[in-house]
A = this chain, B = another copy of it.
Amino acid sequence: MAIKDIKEISERVLPLAALSVLLLFAILILSIIRTSIFGDVEPEKHIYFEIVFLLLLAVLGELAVNYLKQPSDMILMVLGMLMSASFMQLGFGFLSVLPLPFQIPSAPPDILRMEEIIHVFAQLGAVILLFKVGLHNRIERIFAIDNLVVAFAGVVVPFAAGYLYAISAGGDFAYSMFLGAALTATSVGVTVAILKEFKMLEERFAQIIIGAAVIDDVLGLLVLSFVINITDGAASLMPLIGTFVSAAVFLSGSILAGKYFIAYLDRKEMSPRRFLMALAFMLMYAYLAEFIKLSAIVGAFIAGIILNQSRHIKELEDKTYGLEMLFMPIFFISLGILVDVNALATYAVPILALTVIAMLTKIIPCGAAGLWAKLKAKEALLLGIGMAPRGEVALIVASIGLTTKVLSVSEYSIISAMALLTTFIVPPILNMLIKKD
């Protein structure tokens, strides 16, 4: 055979060979996916599959931004809900081939552990989100008088309304106090994400939302510790004072101490060591806040506003991009996964009533306070709606009520459904209102 012949043959054979390798590769992938979904893969391998799956959902969410003109975070929450254990049980058995572990009602230990890992990823997502929001805020803007008024209005009115509603509906004293406490909660994670997507975080009403949310968290914590204290029977003022003092010391102390950290950080160029220190700083503040029963996201936010004064702010922003991209979508998907569709159906009436109360008792007082602070009517409305999501903060209050046996399981389900519903409703409403302009 001449060299020319060999060349000719190889030119014909090579594409065929490549095609058959590609086909075999496709079959390999499909059979691996099949085993991953139906089969028994060791959990430490399966976690890769899990994360890939969640990241591909996040890609779907990003596609939604382009094609459905909806914020990606909202889509992710809905996708998460479609994968919740309760939704699966509603006769959507065919969807239970999906590989996520959350669906399986009686989960074996391995799967519980996997869920725990996803939960940690989700929490880190919320922490990094609020850290980055903090990076764009100045300390002076948080403790402004406007924010204080909005925060107070958004704590006093929901507490009173929740208490009165529960009492009038025949609830006992302890339940009514807990319901009031759950309604004071604020969780602006979704609001902030929506406003970020619309690039509105620099607007004044957005600044008020963020500032008031931080103050709200402190006030809500005080209310909760007051309620726990009073329903406990031992009506002493000490724990309340203790809670207040530790929150005050944390907020003021962390900001003062932060200046020294900035001084250290800015002394030299941004090295790997300094970046690691900044990450540790963020997580440390999240932990401290979580420890004294403020939420982790408040701590991360405080770390962010401190680092706002660093000259390395641009680099910090850029270098945390990958972390934000990996963890944040997982946060929104897990919010959706938490929804209990069965509870929604069983207690539809009280849940809807409570959700309406929850929405109105933030929209009206916070909106009014916004008008007082000389916002335009539209902005005051956005402010009120933005403050309405109760999110994981109310979930925590409800779970404390459940573990201390103050709340029954059905009362717990109602409160947690309200917390998630308010979190679900707000993004589409904000979306609609903002787009109307």
Taking Cβ atoms with an 8 Å cutoff, the residues of A that contact B are 18, 21-22, 24-26, 28-29, 32, 35-36, 41, 43-45, 47-49, 51-52, 55-56, 58-59, 62-63, 109, 112-113, 116-117, 119-120, 123, 246, 249-250, 252-254, 256-257, 271-273, 275-277, 279-280, 283-284, 286-288, 290-292, 296, 318-323, 325-326, 329
Contacts A52-B280, A249-B21, A249-B25 hold; do A275 and B325 have CB atoms under 8 A apart?
A: yes
Give Cα A321–Cα B318 distance, bound, in whole angstroms.
Answer: 9
For the complex of A and B, 7 pairs with smallest distance between CB atoms: A25-B253, A48-B287, A62-B273, A55-B280, A322-B323, A322-B322, A24-B249
Contacts A44-B119, A59-B280 hold; do A22 and B325 have CB atoms under 8 A apart?
A: no
Contacts A256-B22, A279-B326 hold; do A44 and B120 have CB atoms under 8 A apart?
A: yes
Q: How far is the CB of A289 from chain B (nearest CB, A)?
A: 10
Q: Contacts of A32 on B, CB cut-off 8 Å?
A: 287-288, 291-292
Q: How far is the CB of A338 from chain B (nearest CB, A)?
A: 14
A62:B321 contact, CB within 8 angstroms = no
Q: How far is the CB of A268 from chain B (nearest CB, A)?
A: 11
18 example contacts (A-B, Cβ-Cβ < 8 A) are as follows A21-B249, A25-B252, A25-B256, A28-B249, A28-B292, A32-B288, A36-B287, A45-B296, A47-B120, A47-B123, A52-B280, A52-B283, A62-B273, A109-B109, A113-B113, A116-B117, A275-B322, A318-B321
Q: How far is the CB of A96 from chain B (nearest CB, A)?
A: 21
A contact face: mostly helix, strand, loop, or mixed: helix
Q: How far is the CB of A23 from chain B (nearest CB, A)?
A: 9
A63:B273 contact, CB within 8 angstroms = yes
Give Cα A381–Cα B119 distance, bound, in whole angstroms.
Answer: 47
Q: Contacts of A109 on B, CB cut-off 8 Å?
A: 109
A59:B277 contact, CB within 8 angstroms = yes
B44:A276 contact, CB within 8 angstroms = no
Give Cα A292–Cα B286 distance, bound, in whole angstroms.
Answer: 39
A257:B25 contact, CB within 8 angstroms = yes
Contacts A21-B249, A22-B253, A252-B21 hold; do A29 and B283 have CB atoms under 8 A apart?
A: no
Give Cα A283–Cα B330 distance, bound, in whole angstroms.
Answer: 15
Q: How far is the CB of A198 from chain B (nearest CB, A)?
A: 15
B319:A45 contact, CB within 8 angstroms = no
Question: Chain B: which residue is nearest A127 at the CB level?
Answer: B48
Question: Chain B: which residue is nearest A280 at the CB level?
Answer: B55
A49:B256 contact, CB within 8 angstroms = no
Give Cα A167–Cα B35 distance, bound, in whole angstroms.
Answer: 39
Q: Contacts of A123 on B, CB cut-off 8 Å?
A: 44, 47
Question: Chain B: which residue is nearest A279 at the CB level?
Answer: B55
Q: Contacts of A318 on B, CB cut-off 8 Å?
A: 318-319, 321
Question: Chain B: which residue is nearest A65 at the CB level?
Answer: B273
B325:A254 contact, CB within 8 angstroms = no
Give Cα A165–Cα B52 distance, bound, in whole angstroms.
Answer: 44
Q: Contacts of A287 on B, CB cut-off 8 Å?
A: 32, 36, 45, 48-49, 52
Q: Contacts of A56 on B, CB cut-off 8 Å?
A: 280
A48:B296 contact, CB within 8 angstroms = yes
Q: Contacts of A36 on B, CB cut-off 8 Å?
A: 287, 291
Q: How far is the CB of A59 from chain B (nearest CB, A)?
A: 5
Q: Contacts of A254 on B, CB cut-off 8 Å?
A: 25
Q: Contacts of A322 on B, CB cut-off 8 Å?
A: 275, 279, 319-323
